[in-house]
A and B are shown apart, each in its own frame.
Chain A
Amino acid sequence: MTSSSKNSTSLITKMYSHIYIEKEAENYPVTMRIKGILKCSEIIEITHYKDVFNERGQDFLMQKNRPKLILAVKRENLIYKGSPMCNSFGYENFYYTSCVMNCPYNCEYCYLQGMYPSGNIVVFVNIDDILESAAKLSKQKPFICVSYDTDLLAMEKLLGYAGEWIEFCRQNPEITVELRTKSASFANLANYAAPANFILAITLSPDEIIDLYEHKTPKLGRRIEFINHAVKAGWKVRICLDPVLYVRGYAQIYRKFIDDVFAKINARDITDVSFGVLRLPKDFYKRAAKNGVKTELFAYPFADDSQGATYSKQHAENLRGVIYGGLLEYMPKGKIFE
């Protein structure tokens, strides 16, 4: 290490350089798997994940850039009722789970920035308990989203949780599971056959947006390639245009983007499309500001209401008009959800 590297990335620890493991989490198969893959990481024993995750005065931005791992046992709230801010696609019984808290990607608009005090990633290693809780809901024929607070497919090599949910779907045909991702690695799915009740929801954005705001994520071209591989292999694919951002030149950017996507993807192969303008939980900014988050995307005068915060009525309508109008040229009305 020399003084010439004072501004270099070499001064910052590697991703997952340290793994904090709850004593109770020591002997789980996932813990063994992670330790086997990250052999060079420093292991630190902890009592409870909140001792590390909720520490005051953490440098959120630096952690988000190179997160550490925290392995824990989830003791309560294994399944949550779905949020009204999210689309339930017509399902009456809508739930979500958090097997992992925090995401390896680093999108500037992400609500996680105002949700957690830390940029480190918590992995709940008792995945079997979470799957068991989900299975108990089968009589309700529910719709369960499993990758909201993270990107499970992006962490598949390390955790194998997407595979667990795929197998769960095979054993529980009454339950529909959605796995949302920005990952473009089809290799993570190549060894599995696609269950009919498993939906891959792939988030797409224009390259202009990806380059500026979706750090560490794959480019649009790679995500489109992934969709085509997945569709060919029999997976149900949902395209998510979420969030749609009110940026300068938005009409041209999003119009061209939709045309480019459906020039490369056959619309008939897609299960459905969902879109949503940027919307954030109430009081998000205070927490995000506390975490040191600064992005021009939040320089908009959002107003809080009972649901949360979004763009002005006029701007939101304009955005919706561009997206919905563009999608209607390729998808039937019944397959477009907001």
Chain B
Amino acid sequence: MNISYLTETENADFLSEFALRYPSCANNADASKNKNGLFIFISHTQMSKTPRMPRQPGAVFLINKITNPSSGNSRYPEILFRHPFNESGISDSEIFALYAAAERFFERKNIHFFICPADTENIKHVSEIKKWAQIRAQFEPDASHFRQNAAELTQSERDTAEKVITQLKLTQTQRHDFLRCLVNCKLRGGFPEAEISEFAFANPAGKKERSAVYDKLKQKLNFIDY
């Protein structure tokens, strides 16, 4: 997973920095580029912007709530991963806007905003954040957490499917539909070799007959009896 860092200092115009890094931000076509990336924003903002932040010298805070003081609206970054930092909210219209912009390029669970109070040892805390980000970036969803039972056809199964597709002269739409149907059958109870093999030898005469044979094939696949 790629990690993008953006660090704000008191004098930096971070919105320009963001636009510079993602010049295509006006172009939605590139929005999918960073879907799998991690976006870390580190702000060394003044304490006055974080009235609720406990005054702990040297503390780094992960932001769990961003409020726009002019509208009163709030956004809540997803916190799905354990971390060693304190948490806090922040009331800042620029950071609110930055979060909204980041959402266009990164998945919400991959956006992490941090605050380091301006009067602390910046280098040490930035390196703590980067260390956590490295671990976070290596995280892969475990099969035991997520039920993503996606079946794929093996090469030999694909070859069998292609024989039927060629024999029945299926259109592109029908081909796509047929392959999806085969994946569903495989998910439900195994690749339906027996059910489709006879269709590899079918010899429909015209377009109408081909359509009828295909409908029969789909009916057979969709409603396999157990």
Q: Do A and B come from one complex?
A: yes
> Considering the chains assembled together, what is the distance between the CA atoms of A303 and B207 in angstroms?
26
> Do A13 and B138 contact each other (CB < 8 Å), given the known contacts A59-B107, A62-B145?
no
- Contact A1:B109 (CB < 8 A) given known A7-B142, A296-B187, A300-B188: no
- The reply to whether B145 and A12 contact each other, CB–CB distance below 8 Å, is yes
Residue contact A301 to B222, C-beta cutoff 8 Å = yes
Chain A residues, Cβ within 8 Å of B226: 246-251
**Chain B residues numbered 209-226 whose CB sits less than 8 Å from any CB in chain A:** 222-223, 225-226
| Distance (whole angstroms) from the CB of B151 to the closest CB of chain A | 8
The bracket for how many chain A residues form the interface is 35 or more
B89 interface residue per 8 A CB criterion: yes
Measured between beta carbons, the chain A residues less than 8 angstroms from B81 are 11-13
> Do A57 and B108 form a contact, CB below 8 Å, given A7-B139, A44-B89?
yes
Name B62's closest neighbour in chain A (CB-CB): A42
Q: Flag A76-111 by CB within 8 Å of B: 1 or 0 each.
A: 000000000000000000000000000000001000
A12 to B190, CA, bound (A): 34
Whether A222 is near chain B, meaning CB under 8 Å from some CB there, is: no
CA distance A7 to B141 in the complex (A): 7
Let me know if A46 and B187 touch, CB within 8 A: no
A246 proximity list for chain B (CB < 8 A): 226
A294 touches B148 (CB 8 A): yes
- What's the nearest-Cβ distance from chain A to residue B79, in Å? 6
Q: How big is chain B's contact interface, by range?
A: 35 or more
> How many A-B contacts are there with CB distance less than 8 Å?
127
User: Which residues of the partner chain A approach B150 to less than 8 Å between Cβ atoms?
Assistant: 294
Chain A 1-41, CB within 8 Å of chain B: the 1/0 string?
Answer: 11101111111111001101000000000000000000000
- A231-253 vs B, Cβ < 8 Å mask (1 yes, 0 no): 00000000000000011111100
Beta-carbon nearest neighbor of A251 in chain B:
B226
Q: Is A274 an interface residue (CB 8 A)?
A: no
Looking at B138, B150, B185, B188, the one whose CB has the most chain A CB atoms below 10 A away is B188
A306 sits at the interface (CB 8 A): no
**CB proximity of A337 to chain B, nearest CB, Å:** 25
- Whether the pair A12, B140 counts as a contact (CB closer than 8 A) is no
A46 engages B74 (CB within 8 Å): yes
- Asked if A140 CB lies within 8 Å of chain B CBs, one says no
A188 sits at the interface (CB 8 A): no
- Mask for B174-202, Cβ within 8 A of A = 1, else 0? 00000001011101111000000000000
The residue in chain B whose Cβ has the minimal distance to the Cβ of A312 is B223
- Residues in B whose Cβ lies below 8 Å from that of A312: 222-223
Query: In the complex, A59→B103 CA distance in Å?
Result: 13
Given contacts A292-B148, A296-B151, 19 further A-B contacts (CB under 8 A): A6-B139, A10-B82, A11-B82, A11-B135, A11-B136, A13-B80, A42-B64, A42-B87, A44-B65, A46-B74, A46-B76, A47-B74, A51-B74, A58-B108, A108-B147, A300-B184, A301-B222, A314-B225, A318-B225
Return the 5 tightest CB-CB contacts between A and B, nearest first: A296-B187, A299-B184, A299-B187, A6-B138, A301-B222
20 intermolecular pairs with C-beta atoms under 8 Å apart:
A1-B82, A5-B135, A11-B82, A11-B136, A12-B80, A13-B81, A18-B64, A44-B65, A46-B65, A46-B74, A52-B76, A62-B146, A248-B189, A248-B226, A292-B148, A293-B147, A296-B187, A299-B184, A299-B187, A300-B188
Q: B residues within 8 Å of A by Cβ?
A: 64-65, 72, 74-76, 78-82, 84, 87, 89, 103, 107-109, 132, 134-136, 138-142, 144-151, 181, 183-185, 187-190, 222-223, 225-226
